[in-house]
Amino acid sequence: MTIPHDALRRTLLRAPLLAAVAGALPASPAFAAASDAARKATHPDDPAHAFDFFLGTWQVRYRRLRERLADNHDWEEFEGVCKTQPLFAGLANFDESTVNRPGLPYHGLGLRSFDPATRTWADWWLDTRNPQRLDPPMIGGFADGVGTFYGEDEWRGAKVKVRGLWKDIRADELQWEQAYSADGGKTWETNWVSRYRRIA
């Protein structure tokens, strides 16, 4: 039996193959940039996409306050690398970090997930210094280009409030800061700063 070689049949037969090849090959940078621009134009204020800026690979400069909640002003600085990938079609993401702290290098895992019902994000942390303890999540979202997240934790046996800020967000750099409050949120002490610079 001879199959007619009309244009419509050729298109129908080639469509699954082209779709498979497109799914197997990485998108070109130009295509990815165009897709990202289109997504932002379609959903400029969609909180479900609020963390899209963090996807990719980053060089990180860390600053850590040596003593927390002790009126200390002595900081140590060190380097690291962070790679962030999407989950659940973009409604969650995770990053794997290498933290090259002198004398105590470790690996960390950050996990963030969006709740459409509350339109908020949760942000968790786990690392190899205590590999069976997942930190309590900080909950929050973004407004005016700044992500503000709050949670609670313990520091040396006492309950403290924790705040995380995502700020100075640009295409190739951003900053994250952690602060503690021992007085219920009246005053805050920043004890950790991560400065990210995109490398891929």
Q: What is the pLDDT of residue 8?
A: 35
Q: What is the pLDDT of residue 68?
A: 97
| Cα(48)–Cα(115) distance, integer angstroms | 8
Q: What is the pLDDT of residue 200?
A: 74
| Cα(135)–Cα(153) distance, integer angstroms | 8
Yes or no: say if 40 and 32 are a contact pair by the CB < 8 Å rule: no
Segments of the chain scoring below 70 in pLDDT: 1-44
Write the CB contacts of 97 (distance below 8 Å, at least 6 apart in sequence). Answer: 60, 80, 81, 82, 83, 107, 108, 109, 110, 127
Tokens 């900080």 identify what position? 138
Yes or no: say if 66 and 72 are a contact pair by the CB < 8 Å rule: yes
